[in-house]
Structure 1
């Protein structure tokens, strides 16, 4: 489940910053202050690439269950699952979905998962499996030509939401209370009006995130301001706050959110166009998204995904097409620790982090 709070170089294994302190889990080495960390390439913690066998697929949907189990969702209707830490991958794509673009997957365990296909009109669909992808049930198909669904998020095994770009001037929210087996559109009267040109980004499955049983955050761009919308009642009512991440263009804004609890969150984004600068690509909040402040030392370029390291109050990762960045001070400063291309990242309570992206690229953090 995407609960915040808790790809250009095939064959390359990028080295991440680490300490020399021996530890049973790879992530423990990354949570020390930056001054105590060794330079890039001198540690033992690294993104270890796993051969997905699908170099033609770009994976923007990732659900890490634990160190052994992860799900991927990508282009050409592709869904993969591993239960052996990425040594092997099983193609569990829904039948007849080859024309769809899967951009988000939320997994409860090795057998139960929900995937979202994006696009205008009926291209936006949701599927659920209860048998590890052996069979799928289509539980939602969008019939409104004005809707375009971007992201999914679950707060527990039953309650989840999906978000669409604005319809009739307001973001549209789908809700499920039975684990994604059925969905209903929530009333729009609790949603603030969208800005002109405002939308979400289906870049990493992290434009909609949850923390705890009822808190949900939604990231936007494209409008005059890049905003974060927050709901404290599972999507019924929302408040909107401007962030300092630049917008004002369809290619700029907040692309991903990560909350480690209902107060402390990160926002990353920028301008996704290759070669465009993104000098203010990260912001941080400590009041649940009511206010945001720019990172003093942001990532050097556009970032599309973010995740807090497990059981850490200060360490998090951000990923994008030009690299991975680490913060060890709660998002105030970031430093690049790998130059491989990844679109999304997800970490699990058993001290495991996974990343995925273009050209079938998937990796797990290892020591």
Structure 2
């Protein structure tokens, strides 16, 4: 039986084969049709029919077979057969909500976050695969706007709101999302004028390990990453080289493969604006950031480390998917299909989702 390490090495070898070594395929996300033949090891997305045209900015990949999607018009989908079929498990009466993040623990338990001003920001939880849902948090502060959430384990998690009274607001749970409380603001640095998070992919708040969490910002003079080593009680802020200075620019997504090595992606989400230097890397837990020497060619809203890899990651956005094999320093484009977010699993699977019901799993 192959060990996990051997399997991971084989996966990394398959995914990192240079694209120029193979003839381009006319299928897959770039061509708008599912890919069937495997073109000589060339990594590609295999489109799965979600049966809906919702935009899925929320994605939680549990395994190669199980994944959850959360998106526009209160839509939540779940697959347990690798995307061959999707079950609509949307909460009743949620059609007016905009789900932008989902965190799933397995095929039955998941937490979804709805964004928006005031009471539009909500958290709902299911323990039976979406057959029933319980609302566990509804924001009552008109100044708050929740963007993202993350879980350290099956019990402990956080959600973040844009600044309220000059500081980002952090919501905490210690019972798997059944109840939530606002953490004290004393340990949070002051926000810049106009600073906010981007609810673009569910990756503006990410954790690694039992206590470390990072928060990505934009919309202000400087794009920053905030870090907490105590589950959100105290934070430090660091400037990044990702361009900011405009409400549409900043860091949109983060990925940490451990508490030290991180990647930030973003740019300017407006289609008619260039996004130079739209990626950065950190090797010290986010205390400092360096620009990618060859960044993705355009705005990217999602990023994920490849399973069990120390050097490879994927970044996605409306104009394509890019791969790095040197921990985020250089990137090359794999695909030009539109995706908003990406997530990978420990059993060597990667999923992506986005506009018009698009969802795919990486073939290898």
TM-score, normalising length: structure 2? 0.92
Residue of structure 1 equivalent to 2:193 = 196
Q: Give 1:29 shift.
A: 3.2
Residue in 1 aligned with 2:59?
62
Say whether the 8 Å CA contact 1:26–1:351 is kept in structure 2: no
Aligned partners of 1:31 and 1:328 also within 8 Å: no
After TM superposition, list the pairs within 5 Å mapping 1:343-362 onto structure 2. Answer: 343-362=340-359
Partner of 1:76, secondary structure, is: helix
Residue 41 (structure 2) aligns with: 43
Aligned pairs for 1:132-151 within 5 A: 132-151=129-148
**Matches of 2:86 and 2:285 in 1, distance apart?**
37
Structure 1 distance, partners of 2:227, 2:81, is 37
Judge conservation of contact 1:33–1:328 (CA < 8 Å) in 2: no
Q: How many angstroms does 1:27 deviate by?
A: 3.5
1:312 aligns with 2:309: yes
Quote the residue 1:213 is aligned against: 210
Does the Cα contact within 8 Å between 1:34 and 1:328 map onto a contact in 2? no
Question: In structure 2, do the counterparts of structure 1 residues 313 and 138 end up closer, same or farther at CA, with 3 Å as the change threshold?
Answer: same
1:191-270 aligned within 5 A: 191-270=188-267
In the other structure, the counterpart of 2:34 is: none
TM superposition score normalised by structure 1 = 0.91
Q: Kindly tell me the number of residue pairs found equivalent between the two proteins.
A: 345
Corresponding residue for 1:81?
Answer: 78
Shift of the 366–291 alpha-carbon distance from structure 1 to 2, 3 Å rule, reads same
Contact 1:245–1:254 at 8 Å: present in 2 too? yes
Cα distance change, pair 196–30 in 1 and its aligned pair in 2 (3 A): farther
Deviates more, 1:348-357 or 1:32-41: 32-41
**CA gap 1:294/1:24 in 2 versus in 1, 3 angstroms:** closer
Gaps of 5+ in 1: 1-22
Determine helix, strand or coil for the equivalent of 2:170. Answer: strand
Name the structure, 1 or 2, with higher relative contact order (CA <8 Å, separation 6+). 1
Q: Work out whether residues 102 and 113 of structure 2, in 8 Å CA contact, stay in contact via their aligned partners in 1.
A: yes
* 2:90 counterpart residue number: 93
Deviation at 1:24, TM superposition (A): 9.4
CA, structure 1 residues 311+187, in 2 after alignment: closer, same or farther (shift >3 Å)?
A: same
Q: Distance in 1 between matches of 2:321 and 2:251?
A: 17
1:167 matched residue in structure 2:
164
Q: What is the Cα deviation at residue 46 of structure 1?
A: 1.5
Per-residue CA deviations over 1:271-305 (Å, capped at 9, x if unaligned) read 00012100111000000000000000000000000
What residue ranges of structure 2 are gaps of 5+ in the alignment? Answer: 1-6, 26-39
Q: Is 2:285 the partner of 1:288?
A: yes
Give me the CA root mean square deviation: 1.7
